[in-house]
Amino acid sequence: MTPHPPVTFTREGFTRGLRASPALVLGGVPFGIVTGLTAQAHGLSLAEATLMSFFAFAGSAQLLALGAWTTPVHFLPVNLTALTVNLRFLLMGPLLAPWLDRLHGWRRWLSLFFMIDHNWALSLKEMQAGRNDAAYLIGSGIPIWIAWVLLTMAGHVLGSVVAAPPGHPVFFAALSVFIALLVPMWRGRIDLVPWLAAAAVAFGVSRLLPGTTWHIVAGAVGGGLCGALRDRLNRSA
Q: What is the pLDDT of residues 122-149, one digit of tens each?
A: 999 999 888 999 999 999 999 999 999 9
Half-sphere exposure of 62 (CA within 13 A, CB side): 27
Other C-beta atoms closer than 10 Å to the C-beta of 198 total: 21
Show the DSSP H helices in 129-171 as ranges.
135-162
CB 157 within 8 A of CB 31: no
At 1, the pLDDT band (50, 70, 90 cuts) reads very low
Q: Is this prediction's pTM over 0.85? A: no
- DSSP 8-state symbol, 115: -
The domain locations on the chain are: 11-185, 186-237
Closest CA to 36 of 216, 142, 171: 171
Helix (H, G, I), strand (E, B) or coil at 16: helix
Residue 28's pLDDT is 85
pLDDT tens by residue, 169-200: 666 666 666 676 677 667 788 888 988 999 99
